[in-house]
Chains A and B, each alone.
Chain A
Amino acid sequence: MTAVSGSSPEATPPAAGGAPLARGAPLAGGAPLAGGAVAAAAPRLAALLLGGACVAWTATPPRHSGLAGILLVVSIVALTAGALRLALLEVPQPEDGYFLPAPVRAWLVFLAVLRLLPWEEIVVVALVWLEVLHPSRPWHTAALGAGLVAYLLATHIVESGAAPGRLLRRQAKVLLAGACLLALGAGFAMLPAAGAGAGSALLRVLAAAAVVAAAALVLPA
């Protein structure tokens, strides 16, 4: 079975008052099968490239410790698996059957594993951990934050089939405020500490977290 996804740029407004479906009403869908292939591939490729950029950004400069190497490998594997999951998103799960040949069974197991684990979360945790292993580099970390949010948004766009332009327009203000918080975090890190010791560093972290929490609380729903 061919299964291709498509999306209408502007969703048809809901019919008011439970009016019956008009036969000639503009409806999303009905597009030919071949037309949706390019549109479906673009956001998948964008998610893969953004994830790859995040991994490369975090891994530079290379750390030569054992844990850093493991985290790098884990993030690359998780990113690849996540990209494969997105690429095979539309492939239907075959119905149960008896006495399936070995290749089919292997394919089913592969699909199940691919869809079971939260690959994107693994990428995020591995990259944050890898970033922690590096010495403090505030602007580098802020850029990583922006890249990770973009990667997660691209992944969600692929999964939900939402129109990217519409989604980004709706969230533009919040994303802009998030970028400001990233800059504030980097700025906090670059401020010289009032006094030497662990307490001063902890206070700076708490101050940055308080700014983030305050921004989230005052945001209108």
Chain B
Amino acid sequence: MPPVIQNGGGRLPQVSLPADDVASVVDVRWRPSRHAQRLLTLAVAGLLAALLTRRPELAGLAGPAVLLLGAGRAARPSRLEVRTGLTATRLYEGELGAADVAVTADDGDWDARWTLQPGRGVEPASVTAVSGAAARFTFTMPRWGRRQVGSVSLVLHDRWQLAEGRVSVTLPSVDCYPHPAMQRTRVVLSRLPNRLGEHSARAAGEGTEFTGVREYVPGDRQRAINWPATTRRGRLQVNTFAAERSQDVVLLVDATSDVGPPGSSALDLGLRGAAGAAQAHLNARDRVGVITYQWGGARWLAPSLGRRQVYKIIDAMLAADAGWARGAVFSRLPRAALPPGALVVAFSPLLDQRFVEALRDMRERGFPLIVVDVLNVEPPSRYTFADVMARRIWRMEQQAIRFSLRELGVPIVQWDGVAPLDLPLAPYTRRPLVVRR
């Protein structure tokens, strides 16, 4: 039995509903509409004026209003069933979502009017007020995050539009995921762990990529014999193939500082880039994990396989609380979060010195590392000498940080968030990334 919500007089009864299609029974208390009040004003004014001035045509003036008021004795439903549902509880930025609402009643003749009050950060993509027993409101979310879709208020009118009942339904929240950056190519390490995958390794194996020809030795498969080479050399030759391996990829997202305009801030770009990289590597059957450096320390998700891991990674990133804590320490991570030999791709504006130190520490421990620089803004400044000098010093500091990382063998690429990630990563995706310890 669904819960019965009592209407509270003039205030709208609030019905909170979970994400799936849900029916709730709502008691409706009817009260005179504005239209009825206006008709009553006309009727009273006409009759009073007729009595005071003794002019019967003024009584006639009140006639239509009195008739309409007298007709408003139709049966009205006292209990309604309101159903709500969202087409999806997870959306990507800019993706269209929809909220379905419907009302049913056992008796009476009534009209329904739905009005959507969108929540913060939710933009309606259709009209916000609709008449009918069922309605669909479409909406988009321009920026990632967990957001309340808003509420829908239902106004019911009886057949004669003389009475109205109001109900407000709170719509569930939606997880808006960052729109993944486009990345079709992948960074592949030169030394891959001994695990079956899709990347061609340097070692010979049972893959599909041809690497050369060698002399036959007992135990080789007969189907691998290269007959043209055998004919030329006079001895049996067999084809050799590259082994196919997978790699561990750990995405590092720096959520310690979120600078830039909302929608294209450093954190926005970091999350979009990490989501795109996660999709690209998981499509190649790599094991992908994520570490988020954030308020109070680091959160991590161990590398794993499969499409579900994409959602796990994005969920883990969405839980990031952007900010900076003075006492936060980025201590060494457990082996499960950062497996030995894993490729580390960091998305950071490189503004937090502790994060830079963490990168240095990883590099010194031998991890192959690529930093995607997502800093696309500079501090605001006026045209005063002090401001110009401060900006120059800030730029030099940033250059020094990047230089020191490059000196350690950490490649840094700049990404503006608009172009595909393939472009800045192109020098490292064309050939295997050589790991120097």
Contact = CB atoms under 8 A, between A and B. Distances in A.
Given A8-B132, A14-B105, A29-B136, A184 B157 contact: no
B37 interface: yes
B74 to A, nearest CB: 6
Interface in B104-129: 104-105, 111-114, 117-118, 123-129
B56 A178 contact: no
Contact of A209 (B59, B81, B118): B59
A145 B129 contact: no
A20 B42 contact: no
13 contacts: A14-B105, A29-B130, A30-B137, A131-B58, A141-B60, A142-B61, A162-B161, A174-B71, A181-B66, A185-B57, A205-B56, A212-B63, A219-B70
A62 interface: no
Contact of A213 (B66, B81, B103, B125): B66
Given A145-B60, A182-B64, A28 B45 contact: no
A202 B61 CA distance: 16
B266 interface: no
Nearest to B122: A1
A182 B67 CA distance: 11
A101 interface: no
Interface stretch (B47-55, B189-197, B367-375): B47-55
Nearest to B52: A132
B391 interface: no
A202 B54 contact: yes
Contacts of B60: 138, 141-142, 145, 181-186, 188-189, 208, 212
Contacts of B74: 221
B57 A136 contact: yes
Given A121-B37, A142-B60, A208-B60, A181 B67 contact: yes
A65 interface: no
Contacts, number: 283
Contacts of A5: 127-130
Interface of B: 21, 23, 33-35, 37-39, 41-42, 45-47, 49-71, 73-74, 81, 83, 85, 87, 98, 100, 102-105, 111-114, 117-118, 123-138, 155, 157, 159-161
A14 B104 contact: yes
A215 interface: yes
Given A178-B63, A186-B57, A205-B55, A7 B130 contact: yes
A179 interface: yes
B157 to A, nearest CB: 6
B58 A132 contact: yes
A83 B64 CA distance: 23
Interface string A7-51: 110011111101011010101111111011000000000000000
A30 B138 contact: yes
Contacts of B113: 160-162
Contact of A125 (B41, B63, B68): B41
Interface residues of A, number: 90
Main SS of chain B's interface residues? mixed
A221 B33 CA distance: 18
B55 A189 contact: yes
B61 A144 contact: yes
Given A28-B136, A161-B113, A183-B60, A174 B129 contact: no
A42 to B, nearest CB: 15
Given A30-B98, A161-B113, A118 B37 contact: yes
Interface in A163-202: 163, 167, 170-171, 174-175, 177-179, 181-186, 188-189, 198, 201-202
A157 to B, nearest CB: 9
A119 B249 CA distance: 67
Contacts of A92: 117
B112 A11 contact: yes
A182 B113 CA distance: 33
Contacts of A111: none
Nearest to B35: A156
A120 B38 contact: yes
Contacts of B135: 27-29
A119 to B, nearest CB: 10
A148 B83 contact: no
Contacts of A162: 111, 113, 131, 157, 161
B143 to A, nearest CB: 15
Contact of A208 (B59, B83, B127): B59
Contacts of A60: none
A138 B81 CA distance: 50
Given A29-B135, A189-B56, A204-B54, 19 more contacts: A1-B123, A4-B128, A7-B129, A12-B132, A13-B133, A14-B104, A27-B134, A32-B126, A35-B127, A155-B35, A156-B35, A171-B160, A177-B67, A182-B64, A188-B56, A198-B54, A205-B55, A208-B56, A215-B66
Contacts of A36: 127
Given A136-B57, A182-B63, A8 B130 contact: yes
A88 to B, nearest CB: 14
Nearest to B60: A185
Nearest to B105: A14
A2 B130 contact: no
A136 B60 CA distance: 13
A128 interface: yes
B67 A1 contact: no
Contacts of A137: 57
Nearest to B70: A216
B56 A11 contact: no
A182 B45 CA distance: 15
Interface string A101-127: 000000000000000001011001100
Contacts of A124: 38, 41-42, 45
